[in-house]
Structure formats: structure tokens, C-alpha cells
Structure 1
Amino acid sequence: MLRRISGILMLSVMLTISGLQAQQKRSLTHDDYDGWENLSSDRITKNGIWVGYMISPQDGDGRLEILPFKDVSKKFVIPRAQGWNFTPDDTYAVGKIVPQEDSIRVLKLKKTKKDDMPKDSLFIYEMKTGKLEKMAEVKSFAIPEKGGSWIAIQFEKEKPAKKDPADSTAKAEKPKKTDGTKLLVRSLDGSKSYEFARVKSYGFSRNGDFLHYVLAEEDTLDNAAIHLLNLSSGQSTVLHKGNTAYERVTFSPKSRYLAFLSTNDSAKSKKPYYNLYLTTTSNPKVEEVATRNSQGILENGRISNDGSIRFSENENRLFFGVAEDYVDYAYESDTTILDDERVSLDIWGWQDAEIQPMQLRNKSREEKRSYTAAMDLTDRSIAQLEDREVNNVILENKIERDFGIAWTDAPYRRAYSWDIQIGRDLYLVDFESGERTLIEKNAPGYPSVSPEGNYVTWYASTDSAWVAYDIVAQKKINLTSGIENVVFYEELHDSPSLPGSYGVAGWLAGDEAILINDRYDIWKIDPRNPNAAVNVTAGEGRKNKIEYRRITLDREEKSIDPKEKLYLTAFNEMSKESGIAEGSMNGSAPKSILMTAHRYYGLTKAEDSDEILVQRSTYKESPDLYLGDLKFKNLRKASNLNPQQANVKWGSVELVSYLANDGTPLQGLLFKPEYFDPNKKYPMMVYFYERNSDGLHNYRSPAPSASTINIPFFVSNDYLVFVPDIKYDLGLPGPSAYNCIIPGVQSIVAKGFVDADNMAIQGQSWGGYQVAYLITQTNMFKAAGAGAPVVNMTSAYGGIRWGTGMSRMFQYEQTQSRIGGTLWEKPLYYIENSPLFFMDRVNTPVLIMHNDEDGAVPWYQGIEMFMALKRLNQPAWLLQYNGEDHNLRQRKNRKDLSIRLSQFFDHYLKGAPAPLWMTEGLPAVEKGRTLKYELGQ
């Protein structure tokens, strides 16, 4: 009896404690957004001894945390650090320290001039000793990419000395006219240093044995010049001087050469001509190696300062850009015409390859277009690789072959407005001669070359197959057609276009085989005998609905050593668990190393050891950084993001399954408030955008909304949030949404804890369209939010996506809108899927957001919806953020939208008083004077 009483008392105490904890936790507010943190720029030294990462709030000052890999408790914190990195010798961490944001804000309020604002500082932190060195007024800095223990620091322009007010005869110092400032080049330990004045630009060689720097002109007395600093000897050599500009300065991979562009034309010239110069670092005598008159370059061409300069890895070849020569247009150069007399118009020609909006969008890029040429450094001969007809030569990160791949879609470009899957002609290009050999016309994929240069591969979507082109035999090989009962196209593809592939995982050494992914497994295919393909993951992926993908641990990997361990990511399509597995090239079943109810991503391995970094998250757990090794046992948490979350009502998420109206099994995500009581009735928000259930273990930060409801905010404020998956039938996007969303909602309502009289839907863009469609088909929702919705497919079909300048035709014929034909081929489909034609059925209050610089969905679509509802006397509000795009970019507007979304839905689903902006509106005469957030009575 006493034991029973004791148990009752204990239970009572536990319930009391639980109740107190519930009282202590609070709901998220809009004020919480700024302080919510994320982790980025995580790095590990090559030797695996030191780790660092940035933690940044959404608004405010961030910090850098550096710690020894073996002891996460010994963190060294550098406030306000940015742009940091470990040095190549694994000894130091370097980066900038930016001014405090609060201080910057105060100065901006005071209208402080830009030159008088606080500047960045530099830090140099020696990990072993804990010594921290800082330097003020730093404009930029650089360290070598691969080797050396050097740093170059460019300082801000020095302010001229101010006039002494006590000295009436003194004059204020006149600032010198120059773009250059002081550059300090020093060893990281400070034992050696070199200082140079009026430096405009600078850069290290890859291995840190040389540094170039360019001097700016100063008051026309000192000329621009380019210098080479030998970091071993400390000797600085003038390479060239007297020209007005030195640009695109580039070292060869092993520092044998230095190349640059230079011009002596006026800095104000609109048509400067550049020449290409080259020198060796061992004997720095500059040679002019290419001009616009050089043999081999593009006819009527010039050396382009907009093109990059690259060297081959063996340093035998130099690649540079050539542009078309300047054209003198009589109308443009006619000085007798006033600016207000000049005609300004766009002419849309039916024969144009691209429509005018797309041409205008790409105008700057086209004006800077350059065509790659290659120079043989043994005899200085030049071969033009690209021209107006074929202008896409693929130069890999490391150029190790004497040939490459080029492609052009010019013959098919005119159809791109309605066919975004146009083909391209593929060529082999000889870097020595520039000669091109056609290997495939109208290929439906993008090509790549095998590591040893024996094959060109691409995915042929028209055949749903991977193909290889044998360069020596000059024949095409179908790599996957002989594999029975397996497809290599995207199996869940449900739009009227050709499905894509699941990609490749790399090549085995010697081009012995290529690894190709299907939906779940990985196949090893020898191009010489593709019918003998081996399922590397032994079919275990498809058998268990687990997606296996190879992990690339070496970022500079050229090919795969078949004897090395094969590490795989593993994702269970049904449970959404993920982890790591170990496989082999012989086709044995993968062995699970790690499989948990988390999301893992961002895996990084130390270059010279087995230490790894990986981020891990769930809906409840921030994506903190974990440390471990390739055994993936006992991962240790290094960071501690968002400790404030412990004091906030957060909630949970669960995976739910249901059937669409046509019987298709679907999944969705159901988010529940903290302290969820199944015996209570909760208002429910429904958000959707195609398929989202794979994101079960994604962490969702409280953040101001760019367009959609912030799920953690609504869940923390005691809403259920349901996110159903949607699968589409071609030609029926609206009915498909209804057939998947409505039964999903009904399945949740059937659980008994949903207040079915207080449900709402919200979506943006494609989701906004589906919201608009659903409220014409059902009155089951108390309120709706539609962001950038297409409501009239007949008018939107002929519109422009101003962000790219493309016609919207492809959207309906091939992609997301899924009609599958032109407006004149399928007019009824366009009408029946357009909510505008059925607005008279709407009885649901709607909050629309559509902005006047939307680059994806025509702004008038939101206006058409609003005006229809206004005409029908249905409650509707249109939020139009001035100068904003499809999704809000400016944080101030995101915060505003977040407030209005929560006020709107709280009013309709929770009975909260309506804010004044809903009841009174915001007249134009009050714009900018008030926000009208105040709640009515």
C-alpha cells in the first residue's frame, strides 16, 4: 500500500515538473528569427588535427570556432570572423574580422560617409600556441592554394592628414589619385616581410613560391607596372611597366610561367586593345606572344580581357580568350544627334534564335563573350578552338589532354522557347590544330570525357540510355540497353518531357569501367563489354528501397582505385533513415556502417588522414557538426547551434501514409505542436509543393518568410501542419493536386485531433497555383494563402519569365504545368486547369502575394485573381512588394510578410482580431507612414 502511494506521489511530482516545464517554454515569435543560427564554412586541416567552422545568426554578428579534432571542449572563438581558411601548412587560420553590425547601423542612421565607416581587420591565429595577431584597415588578403607559409595583405587607402586648425598657414594634404594601396607580403610567422606601395592587384602561384603584384598609376607621374616577387630569394623584378592596365595575371600550375594581358590604350577608352604576354619565372624576360594580328586567332578578332587565362597541367599549352573586333556603327558614333533624339526600340524577329527579352537579359554576357584559343608554348603557334559556330569548349579543372570536347546548340536554339530539351552537336577538338571532328549530331545530353581520354559519355534521354563514344574506334556504344529489368531514367518523373538520369559515380582507373546509378543501385559497366555489367550493390538497394550513392572522399580524384574501400551514402526511401555503408567493386552486398533516423550531409575527409566532418540533423536537432573517422562510430558533436531552442515550444514531425483518390500510395509529413494532446482539436495548415516527404529529417529554421509559411513558427504556435506528396497525371495538374491533397487532408482529419472547421492551405508559385485551383473545387478550408499563383494558363502561356527572358511556353508544354501541348492543340486543358474561369465558385478568404518585379510568374496573374474575387465580392487581399522578385529578397519585406501571414491565419483559424490592414486596407496616401499591424476590436 505504501509502495502504491509512493508511486502515485512520484507520478504526481513528475506531472508537476512536466507542467512547470510546459509553462516555462514559450511559443516562437517574429523576434526570434534574427538570432537563429546556422553553420557554414566547416574545414579540417590536411593532417586532421584542427577543425574550424562559422556560426552565423540570420541577422547580427557571427563567429568562428576553431578546436583540436581530439578535444571539442577546447574551442577558440573569433567574433565577427569571415572569409577564413586554414593555411596550406596546417599551422594557422587566417581571415577577416568585420565591424559590429550594430555599430554600422548607428553610423548609417547618422548618414556617415562610406570612407568614414569602420573597415575590416585581419586575424592570423596560430593553432598550436594559441597566439592571435590582428591587423586593422585591411582591404583584402590572400594565401597560396597548395603550399608555402605566406600571406599577402592589402590595406585600405590611407586617409590624408587633416589640416591643423591651430596652423593658419597649413594646407590640408591633397589625396593622391591612384587605385593602389599598400601591400604587405610576409611569412606567417612574421620572420620575413616585404612591403609595396600603390598595389592594385596581386596573387600567389599555386604552390606559394612566387607572387605577382600590379602597381596602379599615380597622378600620371608613376606608371602602372607588373612585378614578380620570388619568395625564396626575396627578389622583386619589374616584368613590364608603362602600360595603362595589367590584367588576368596567371601562374602556370608548377610556377614555370606567368602570363598576363596588358594594354596601353587610355583607361577611359571604350575600345581598348589588349596583348598577351608571357615570361618564365626562372628568367623573367617578358615576351609579347599574341596580338589581334597574330596568325591563328579568330578572323577579325582581338585578345579579350574578359576571357580567362589557363595553362595545361604539363605547362606545354596556354589557353586564352579571343573576342570579335569592335564594330564602328555610324549611328552610334554620330555626334550630331542629341541623346533625346536617339531612337530606342526592340525589334522582335521571328527568325531570331532567341527572343528579344532573352537577348536583352544576356546582352552583357554576349558583349563580353570570348572564344577560347590555345597556344603551343614550344613553338608559340595558336589554334582557335571556339568560334561563332561552336563556342562551348569544355576545359576541365585540370587540363591534362591534347584534345577536348566542344558542343553547340545553335542549329536548334530557335526552338528553345518551347523546347528546353533541344539537342546539341558534339565535337572532338584537337588543341594543337583546332581541328574539330563531329561525333554526334543533335545529342540529347551533355558530354564528358573519361579520365584517360578513351571515351566520351552522355545520357541519351531520347533512348533512356547511357552511351559512350569510343574515340579510337570512332563508334558509339549503348552502355545500359543490355541490362534487363532495370531502367536508368528517373522513375518518378511525371511531366511531359523526357526524364533525366540518376547520374554517374565516376570511372575506374585506366578507364576500365564506368559506375552508373539507377534509382537505388550502382552498376559497373565496361564499355568494351557492357552486357557483362556488374551490380556493385548487389541489387540490395532496389530490394530494400535504399538509395546507394558513392561518396567521393578525395576532391581532386581523377579516377577510382578498384582496390580501395567503396563508401556509400544510404537513404531508405520508405522510412527516410539515412547513413553510410561499405561496398566493394566485386558486387557483394553493402555492409551498413551507420543507419539512423537523421539526415547526414556535407561529409568532408581530411586530405592526409581518416578524420571526417559531417553535419547531422532532424526536425528537432539543428544541423550541428560531428567529428569522427571512416569507421563512423561514436560521432562526436563539435558545435552547439541554437541552445535557445530548449526554451521554445518546438514540436515534432512524423511520416504518414495515405492513398490518393486513384489508389496510389503516397506519403506526407505531419508536424505536431509540443505537448500534443490527441484528445484536443487543433487548427491545421496545409502546405504543399510536389514531393517533400524525403525531407522528414530536415531541420527547418525559424526564419522570416520569402513566400511560404514558416513551419516551425506555426507549429510552435499550436498549429498542426500537414505537407502531402503529390504525383501528377499529364494534362491534369489541377485535378492531380486535388486527387492527392484532399484525401491526404481527410486521412489526417480522420485521426480525430484536427479542428476540421479551422483548416487552411498555403503555397507559393506552383503551390500558389494549386491553392488557387483547390479553392475553386472545395470549401473545406477556412482560409487560403496563394503566393505568385498562375490562375489563367491561357494568358500566362504567352507570357515571359523576365528573370531569364524566356517565353513561358515550355512551362506548359514540357515541365511543371504539365499540359503537354500548345494552347491551340489543347485549349480545353488550359481552360479547365485555370482557376480564373471558376472564381465564381470560391467562398474562401484569400491572401495573395504577387510582386511587381516577379521574374518567374507574370505579375498580372495575381492581379487577375484579385480582380476576379473583388468583382465577386469575396474577401481577398493582394500584397505587392515594390521592386521585389518571385520570392522576397529583402529581409525587411520577409519579416513583414511573416507578420501578415500569421495575423491572417490567426484571424480565420483561431478567431484572433483582424489587423487594421485587413479591415481598413492601406490607402496609397498612407503608404510608408504606417504598417497597420494593429489588431482591431
Structure 2
Amino acid sequence: MITKQSLSVLLILFLICQSGFAQQKRSLTHADYDGWESLSSEKITKNGQFVGYQISTQDGDGRLEIFPFKNPAQKTIIPRASGFSFTPDDAYAVGKIAAQKDSVRVLKLQKKKPDDLPKDSLFIMNLASGKVEKLPRVKSFATPIEKGSWIAIHFEKDLPKKPDLADTTKKAEKPKKTDGTKLLVRTLDGSRFWEFERVKSFGFAPNGDFLQYILAEEDTLDNAALYVLNLSTGESKLVHEKMTTYSNLTFSPKSKFLSFIATDDSLKAKKPVHSLHVYNVSGGTFSHKIEKSTPGIMDGGRVSPDGSIRFSEDESRMFFGVAQDYVDYAYANDTTILDEERVSLDIWGWQDAEIQPMQLVNRSSEEKKTFTAVLETGSGKVIQLATPELDNVNLENKITKDIALAWTDDPYRRAYSWDIQIGRDLYWIELKSGAKTLIEKNASGSPRLSPEGKYAYWYDSRDSAWVAFDIQSKSRINLTKALPVPFFEELHDSPSLPGSYGSEGWLAGEAAILINDRFDIWKIDPKNPSAAVNLTLGEGRKKQITFRRERLRADETFIDPKEPLILSAFNEVNKDNGFFTTSFDGKTAPKQLILSPHRYTGLTKAKESNQVLVRRSTYVENADLYLSDLTFKSLNKASNLNPQQAGIKWGSVELISYLANDGTPLQGLLFKPEGFDASKKYPMMVYFYERNSETLHNYRAPAPSRSTINIPFFVSNDYLVFVPDIKYDLGLPGPSAYNCIIPGVQAVIAKGGVDTENMAIQGQSWGGYQVAYLITRTNMFKAAGAGAPVVNMTSAYGGIRWQTGMSRMFQYEQTQSRIGGTLWEKPLYYMENSPLFTMDRVETPVLIMHNDADGSVPWYQGIEMFMALKRLNKPAWLLQYNGEDHNLVQRKNAKDLSIRLSQFFDHYLKGAPAPLWMTEGLPAVEKGKTLKYELGN
């Protein structure tokens, strides 16, 4: 018999058990990575009524979610959908649906041919009804950019038909050879459609009036052809035929012209000759044909298929690329020489503008280099704008002006191996005549044209000032010289010239340009720069808040002062983030709309309404999507990423303030395990790379390591992780790291909870160098991980960054390595900052990763460190992932590194058994046969 008393006891026991179950959370494992979700491709219709976004897993199938802005709960979920867009009429959403990844993997294990694998599908969703239509085996699709309710769908090749075994009289037809497939062009509602066979490529006019498509050749017939479909009448008209290739098809903005490049030379021809054709779409006739012999083309030039074709907005000009003609090399054309007899070598000449490795990296782009020319579509006149002597012409996104900017750095290029801030000669070009006028010789900066073309403007890093050049008066204007604040990067601490904080654009009519200082925004009239107005009234500098203008229109060319001025805001002290608003007159202080301990990113406004999308995150909260308007009075959460996180020990992050050894105030991030108790002792990892405190509210997803420790993984597994900021003194990168990192660690220790007998450091690249340096100066860390470390600056100085082909000299003289001089000018600085020369002091076991295809840090640096430690009989392991670059690219290798990092640090900081790869190594004869993750006794 159950009494009231026993019932009460049972109830209490039940509640205790329930409470225990509710509190049971597990630590992250390496198996959690694949299913972890992230959000991307968020979009809102122009009218603001519908929203969509893609949710992807790290390795697996994702999904697309689409819903009404006013009702986020009413979601349509399309599994495995991606690459979606809303149509210009705001009536449909379209996108691809990928084949199920597990199914494809199973078939690949069965060695199925690519043609036998499942193909992508297409979905078309009616936003009003929610109905989703799906079409199988889709190669690609397109919709018009600006208007129209059309879609073009290009299908995969048809599957081979199985023979009819019952019909023995019918002989199977041999399929004709062509790389073209079926194209379906239809209204999105399916009420009108056309089908075309053996289509190779296609494209809509921006305004949706026409569609061009190319028919591929069939068998050996010379029957390739170009057609234009009039979408209003349904008439398909032959434009051109019987050429080998058609490429670079481009409609003019209002569909008056269709231009293309064609050749009738064989695809195997080494020197194909191309011609450029301009077709009048409405008239059905050809307006112009441009060839190498066309007057106006530069001497020794030819029409290039590697250059882009663009039209001015009024369609009066067409811009295209001209390449230098092919050169006949007797040696290359000598057919009496066998391939094995040909000499292969690189000659490094001291007089070369670029060193050989850089030339080899850039070889393909140099072979395809084009020089901009312009066609006057009315008169047919061709004007060569760019030339080998002045090879860069900058055309705006929308070409509306009669001038363009041009520049060359050829006179200064030879110094680029050690001086990455070389100058350039700036010009402006009259598009009507091609006349060139010098703006400035050896200028420092990257100029742009103001919206109406009255000014060229740029940041001059040598003067630490923004400047403008008045095109009409040909006068140079210093825009910021008279202002009472600096416009250079105030925290810049390398030997290079400091950069700027950027500009925000021009007001309508070019009445003023908006330029940022570190905190505030200035409105500067180039006609009277000294009368500049601080739009944020200095509130940013006063309160240590960085204000920046949010660009609410993707196609913006100028700033409309009638539109709202929305500012992002970031508090440099406590890292709060949010949005403010203010006026363009600079008479009212910025008004706070929202400011909170979060990170806000990706603000997107509907084109025709005030609805906005924004992502918000903290270390604990995923970067989910929120819905609001420009008042930000309410934020409605739309997505719900990673619900599984609720059952995982996650932890928290705290901002730590401390003083460097030289008294400089610094900050760092301390990540603490869930349920952190300062009376207990936790092992601590210390990771660093430049400055990171501004990332306080960043969400950090569990993911395989490309090079550095995954912070959530270690925190979830009961480690403290500390990330200090570093401030550098020129010439002293190593001592600067010690000066900032060690007192930061001591400040964390003073707060309690750190097991000082079990601390480790880990870093990659520049961080890997600092790890190597620190373990020669202190034994306070029980283990260390150094990824791609430079340990010998004297040998690294003369090395190559193979990814770009550049000499590494610039890095030591001007940028991150911060020596500030050549090896022969400052030999002692190079030696004293190189940990290799003091490796005999190391008492810390080290795990090094340095890959044999590293394009940034020479692989031999990791070898030098490992061999020194091996020679000194110090515990060290070198992980070398074959064919991998500076940071791991292949996910399989990242997963492997993650396991080895955690095993290494668990062994030294938690006393876990060492894995066999640490105790036995991995002999070459066992390579690829075992991974040796197994733990020893």
C-alpha cells in the first residue's frame, strides 16, 4: 500500500531523476562535425513579402527554407535544394535539388560511371500557392535578371534507351555525337513553352525580352548555329551559323544589340583567328564586324576571346578585349625536334620585372592578357584604350561616363619582390578619342571615379590622406589634411605604410564624399574640404564606437540624402554591436536603434520596402537569421540552426583586460567550460594570432581543424582556452609576442581555475612562429603545437611564397614579420627573432604540422625545426599531409588532424594514454595501411 508519505518520497526521487536527466549533457566528439549546420544565401523578395535561405551541413545533405516574411513558422522545406533565387516578378522561387549524398557515395563505391550517377533536379515554387514543381536531370537553369516570368532549363544527356528485346527486326539506332542537350524555355507557370534540341549554351537578355542559344555541332557536320528567341512573339531567328565556336555572348542593357566572338578554326588550332560580331536584335541585321585588320585595333593586335564584352548603359559604346598577336617561334615550330629532345629550364634574370616563380604562376593569365578597346556602336569607330604601355583601364560597374581611369605600375614593378607598396602612374582617358591625360606619376593608391566623373579619388598612403583630382581643372585636392583626426589605421604596427578606414560613397550630384576615420564618418565637399562635417558629431571617438554606413541598395551608384542613413555600430571596449541612424546634415547625434552584446552581420533590405534580414550571434547562439524593419524595434527569429547543441556541453566566453609587460592595455578572450568552477583546476590551451578580441560575439562552429585548434571542441571537453591580443614593436616580433601573451596568461591564472601544471600553446603560420619562439623563452607550457612555423628568418627571408611566386623579402621588410629592413641591414634582428638558434633551450614536447605543398611558408622551415629538436633528442612530431597547402583543404585530412591534435594535448595535459602514432611512429612501409589512432597502455 502506497502512503501519502511514500508517494511524496517517490515524487521527490522522480523530480531529482528528471533534474539529473535534464542536466546530462555530453561533450563534443569528432563525429559531430559532419552534421553541424550553417546558414547562407539568405534572400528577400523585392516587395519584402517572402524570405528564403539555405541551410547546409558540413558534410551531408542540406535544405532550403522559404516562408512569408509575416509568418516565419509557415515554412516550405525543400531537401537538398541550393543555388536558389527569387524571380524578378517576386512570384516564384527556383533552384536546384542535389542528389542524395549517401546514395551517390554508395554508387561510387560500386564503381559506377559518372553518367550512371544520379543527377540534379530543378524545383519551381509558386510563392502564392506554395506548390512545388520538380523536373529531373537538370544541368543548369537561368531566369532574367531584371524582369519577366521566364525560365530556361538545360537538361542532362538522355539516358541510353534499353533495346526492345521483343522486337528482333528493328536495328538499334546509333546515337549521333554532340555535346548539346535539350533546352526548355517556358513561362514559370508553364502556360507557354518551347523546346530546342542539342543546345550547348544559352542566356537571357537582362530585361527578359530575348534569349540567345547556341546549337552544338552534330557528328562531323559543320552545323553549329546561334539563335535568338523573342519571348514576346515566340519567334526563334537564326543569327549566325557554321562556325566552330561561339563565345562571349552579351546582350546590351536594353537588348538593342547582341555581341559575340566566333571562329571557324579547329578546336585544336594553336593560333585560332577570332572575329567579333555586333547583331542588331530588333532589326535582325549585323551592325559591325571587328577583326584584327579593323582600323583602330592596336598594331599587332587581334580580337581576343579571353576578354569580356560590356556595353555602356546608353548602348552607345561596346568594350572588348584585344590581345597581342601570336608570335612565331622557330624553336617551338620546329617539327624535326622530338619532345624528349626539347630543353626545359627557367632563367632567372636580375633585370626581369618579376622573378621566374612569379612569372610561372602568372603565365596563364599573361598568355590570356587583353587590352581594352571600345566600339562606337553608331559610327562603327574602334578606339584602342589600353596598350602594353598603359595596360589597365578601370570600367565602372555601370558605364555611364565619357571618361575612364587607367594606370600602369610597369616602371616600378621590378621592386615588387621586396616593396609591395610600389607606385603607379595614373591617367584619365577620353572614351570618344582615346586621348590620355596624366593625373599623377608614381602615385600611392587605387583611384576610382566619382559617380558623375568629375573627380578621381583615392587614399594616398604616403601622405596618410584622402585625395581627389578635379578632372576639369586638373588640380589635386587633399580632402582630409585640414581635419583634426587621423585617417590612417591607428593600430597599424608593421613597417609598411598604414592603410585607411575606407570611404562610404558620394552624395547625389557629387556634393560631398563620405570618408571614415577610425570611429566617425565625415562629409567632405571637395570644393571646400576644410569645412567638412562630422556626420556622427564625434560621438564615435568620444564613446569608442566605430560607426559605418550600411549600404541598403546593392545597385547603388550614389547616396540619396532622402533615404535613411543607417549605421552599424561596434563598441571597441565591450564589443557590443548594433545599429544607429542619423541625418546627413551633421546636426544631430546618432540615434541608437539597437545595441547589444551580439554580433550582427549581413544586413539585407528589401528593394521596395523597409523589411530587413540580419544575422545575429554570440559564442553560444548560432548565427541565425532575424527579421525586422529599419526601426529594429523587434527582431523575429526565423531560422533555428543546430538544435542538437542544447544537449552538448558548450561553455561561455569572457572578455579579459590586462596589461602587457610594457604597460600597454590589452584584451583577450577566455573561453570557459560549461559549469566552470573557479575553485577547480582546468587544463588550459592558449591560441593566438594578431588581435582577436573583436570576435567576442562570433559563433564558432565545431569543425575539423584546417590548422588550428577548434575552440568549441576543446571547451566542450573541459579545457579553458585563452586567446590574447598582441601588439608589436618593429624589429621585435618574438619579444613582442612574449611581452603580450605571457602577462595575459598570468592574468587568467590570477582569476583562478587554471591548472598551471597543464597548460599548452598552439598556433598556425604567424602563430606557429610565435609558438616556436615562446618555447625557447619559457617552460611554463607542458606541450605545444606549431603549424607551418618559420623558425629561421635568415633562410626564410630568401625563400619563395610558391602560391604567388613572390619572394618572401617583403614580408620581413614591410609586413607581418616586422623586421623592417634587409638581412644585411639588420642581421642581428633576423637571428635574435629566429627560434632555431636557441632550440637547445626547448623543454616542451612539440607537434608540428607543415605540408609539402605549402605555398606560403617554405616547407623546409618545419623540417629545420623538427630536425633541430630530433638532433637535441627533444620529443617532437612532424605531420606532413601530402599535396596539401598552408592550411588543409581536404576534409579527410582536417578530420585526421583534429583527432591527432586532441590526442596529443589530451596525453600531455590530461594524462590520457599516448596513441600509437606518437609512441611507435608511422613507418613508410605502413603508410596508407593504418592510421595508428589506437591508444597505448
Superposition TM-score tier, normalisation by shorter sequence:
over 0.9
**Greater Cα shift, 173-182 or 98-107:** 173-182
User: Aligned ranges for residues 229-628 of structure 1 at < 5 Å?
Assistant: 229-484=229-484, 486-587=485-586, 588-628=588-628
**Pair 1:836-2:831 in alignment:** no
Q: Is the 1:576–1:694 Cα contact (8 Å) retained in structure 2? A: yes
Aligned position for 1:21: 22
Q: Deviation per CA, 1:823-855, whole angstroms, max 9, x where unpaired?
A: 000000000000000000000000000000000
**Greater Cα shift, 216-225 or 393-402:** 216-225
Distance 1:633 1:13 in 2: 43
Distance 1:512 1:279 in 2: 40
Aligned position for 1:927: 927
Q: Is the 2:222–2:243 Cα contact (8 Å) retained in structure 1? A: no
Distance 1:172 1:574 in 2: 77
Q: CA deviation at 1:387?
A: 1.0
- Structure 1 counterpart of 2:249, which letter? V
Q: Deviation per CA, 1:480-532, whole angstroms, max 9, x where unpaired?
A: 00012x00000000000100000001111111100000000000110000000
Q: Deviation per CA, 1:290-317, whole angstroms, max 9, x where unpaired?
A: 1000000111111000001100000000
Q: CA deviation at 1:625?
A: 0.4
Aligned position for 2:4: none
- Structure 2 counterpart of 1:449, which letter? L
Aligned position for 2:730: 730
Distance 1:159 1:683 in 2: 59
- Structure 2 counterpart of 1:354, which letter? E
Q: Deviation per CA, 1:28-68, whole angstroms, max 9, x where unpaired?
A: 00000000000001000000000000000000001000000
Secondary structure class of the residue paired with 1:675: coil
Q: Deviation per CA, 1:583-623, whole angstroms, max 9, x where unpaired?
A: 11221210100000000000000000000000000000000
Distance 1:164 1:760 in 2: 70
Distance 1:30 1:58 in 2: 12
**Greater Cα shift, 770-779 or 434-443:** 434-443
Q: Is the 1:160–1:173 Cα contact (8 Å) retained in structure 2? A: no
- Structure 1 counterpart of 2:479, which letter? L
- Structure 2 counterpart of 1:754, which letter? V
- Structure 2 counterpart of 1:400, which letter? T
Distance 1:321 1:15 in 2: 76
Q: CA deviation at 1:178?
A: 1.1
**Pair 1:149-2:149 in alignment:** yes
Q: Is the 1:617–1:698 Cα contact (8 Å) retained in structure 2? A: yes
Aligned position for 1:140: 140
**Greater Cα shift, 156-165 or 360-369:** 156-165
Q: Is the 1:275–1:288 Cα contact (8 Å) retained in structure 2? A: no
- Structure 1 counterpart of 2:834, which letter? S
Q: Is the 1:203–1:212 Cα contact (8 Å) retained in structure 2? A: yes
Secondary structure class of the residue paired with 1:286: strand
**Pair 1:785-2:785 in alignment:** yes
Distance 1:130 1:58 in 2: 28
Q: CA deviation at 1:15?
A: 8.2
Aligned position for 1:6: none
Distance 2:873 2:267 in 1: 63
**Structure 1 unmatched runs, 5+:** 1-8
Aligned-residue identity in percent: 72
Distance 2:873 2:281 in 1: 78
Change (3 A) 1:533 1:79: same
Q: CA deviation at 1:164?
A: 4.2
Secondary structure class of the residue paired with 2:178: coil
Q: CA deviation at 1:169?
A: 6.2
Q: Is the 1:374–1:432 Cα contact (8 Å) retained in structure 2? A: no
- Structure 2 counterpart of 1:492, which letter? L
Aligned position for 1:196: 196
**Pair 1:631-2:614 in alignment:** no
- Structure 2 counterpart of 1:579, which letter? G
Distance 1:549 1:378 in 2: 44
Distance 2:224 2:265 in 1: 12
- Structure 2 counterpart of 1:502, which letter? Y
Aligned position for 1:94: 94
Distance 1:459 1:529 in 2: 18
Distance 1:530 1:11 in 2: 76
Q: CA deviation at 1:287?
A: 4.0
User: Aligned ranges for residues 60-71 of structure 1 at < 5 Å?
Assistant: 60-71=60-71
**Pair 1:912-2:907 in alignment:** no
Aligned position for 1:869: 869
Aligned position for 1:880: 880
Distance 2:798 2:856 in 1: 13
Could you state the TM-score of these two structures normalised by the residue count of structure 1? 0.98
Q: CA deviation at 1:172?
A: 4.4
Q: Deviation per CA, 1:226-277, whole angstroms, max 9, x where unpaired?
A: 0011001111100111111111110000111111111111222121111111
Distance 2:906 2:230 in 1: 68
Q: CA deviation at 1:563?
A: 3.2
Q: CA deviation at 1:392?
A: 1.0
Q: Is the 2:280–2:287 Cα contact (8 Å) retained in structure 1? A: no
User: Aligned ranges for residues 751-790 of structure 1 at < 5 Å?
Assistant: 751-790=751-790
Secondary structure class of the residue paired with 2:285: coil
Secondary structure class of the residue paired with 1:200: strand
Distance 2:889 2:493 in 1: 30
Q: Is the 1:705–1:898 Cα contact (8 Å) retained in structure 2? A: yes
**Structure 2 unmatched runs, 5+:** 1-9
Q: Is the 2:222–2:244 Cα contact (8 Å) retained in structure 1? A: no
- Structure 1 counterpart of 2:507, which letter? L
- Structure 1 counterpart of 2:524, which letter? I
- Structure 1 counterpart of 2:411, which letter? P
- Structure 2 counterpart of 1:855, which letter? G
- Structure 1 counterpart of 2:363, which letter? K
Distance 1:345 1:175 in 2: 47
- Structure 2 counterpart of 1:699, which letter? Y
Q: CA deviation at 1:722?
A: 0.2
Aligned position for 1:213: 213
Q: CA deviation at 1:160?
A: 3.3
Distance 1:185 1:481 in 2: 58
- Structure 2 counterpart of 1:839, which letter? M
Q: Is the 1:248–1:260 Cα contact (8 Å) retained in structure 2? A: yes
Report the RMSD for the aligned CA atoms in angstroms. Answer: 1.5
- Structure 2 counterpart of 1:607, which letter? K
Distance 1:266 1:286 in 2: 24
Q: CA deviation at 1:557?
A: 1.4
Q: Deviation per CA, 1:65-108, whole angstroms, max 9, x where unpaired?
A: 00000001100000011111000000000011110000111111
Change (3 A) 1:635 1:132: same
Distance 1:218 1:62 in 2: 39
Q: CA deviation at 1:391?
A: 1.2
Q: CA deviation at 1:562?
A: 2.2
Q: Is the 1:162–1:172 Cα contact (8 Å) retained in structure 2? A: no
Aligned position for 1:3: none
Distance 2:159 2:477 in 1: 67
Distance 1:222 1:178 in 2: 12
- Structure 2 counterpart of 1:788, which letter? A
Q: Is the 1:240–1:286 Cα contact (8 Å) retained in structure 2? A: no
Distance 1:16 1:442 in 2: 76
Distance 1:500 1:248 in 2: 37
Distance 1:269 1:258 in 2: 26
Distance 1:681 1:722 in 2: 15
Distance 1:455 1:811 in 2: 34
Q: CA deviation at 1:11?
A: 12
Distance 2:677 2:173 in 1: 74
- Structure 1 counterpart of 2:711, which letter? I
Q: How many residues align?
A: 928
